[in-house]
Amino acid sequence: MVEDDPSIRTLLTSALGAAGHSVVAAVTGQEAMFRAGDSQPDLIVMDVMLPDADGFDLTRQLRAQGLYTPVLFLTARTEVEDRIIGLSSGGDDYVTKPFHVQEVLLRIRAILRRAGASAPAGRARPPLRYGDLVLDTDAHTVHRADRPLKLSPTEFRLLACLMARADRVLDKGEILQEVWQYDFAGDTRIVDTYIKNLRRKIDATPPALIHTVRGVGYCLRQPDDSTGNSGNSGTGTPRP
Please count the CA atoms within 13 angstroms of the CA of 227 that sit on its side-chain side. Answer: 2
The structure's pTM equals: 0.59
21 and 112 share a domain?
A: yes
Total tally of structural domains belonging to the chain: 2
Same domain, 68 and 146: no
pLDDT at 184: 52
Compute φ and ψ for 127, nearest 5 degrees: -65, 150
152 and 95 in one domain?
Answer: no
Specify if 122 maps to a domain. no
Range of the domain at 90: 6-116
CA distance 151 to 101: 30
- Note whether residue 143 is domain-resident: yes
238 lies in some domain? no
* CATH number of domain containing 109: 3.40.50.2300
Considering the domain architecture, whether residues 107 and 132 belong to the same structural domain is answered as no
Residue 45's DSSP bridge partners are 72
223, part of any domain: yes
**Pair 47, 11: CB distance under 8 Å:** no
pLDDT value at residue 190: 82
The pLDDT assigned to 230 comes to 38
Domain shared by 151 and 219, yes or no = yes
Q: What is the pLDDT of residue 10?
A: 92
Do 134 and 102 fall into the same domain? no
Residues 159 and 183 in one domain: yes
For residue 23, what pLDDT is reported? 93
In a domain, residue 61? The reply is yes
The amino acid at residue 50 is L
Task: Write down the pLDDT at residue 204.
Answer: 93
| Beta partners for residue 170, in sequence order | 218
> Could you read off the pLDDT tens digit of each residue along the chain, which spans 240 residues?
999 999 999 999 999 988 889 999 999 999 999 888 788 899 999 999 999 999 999 998 888 887 888 999 998 887 777 878 887 788 888 888 888 998 899 889 888 887 764 333 444 568 899 999 999 988 889 999 999 999 888 889 899 999 988 999 999 888 887 887 655 555 678 889 899 999 999 999 899 999 999 988 999 998 764 433 333 333 333 444
Residue 165 lies in a domain: yes
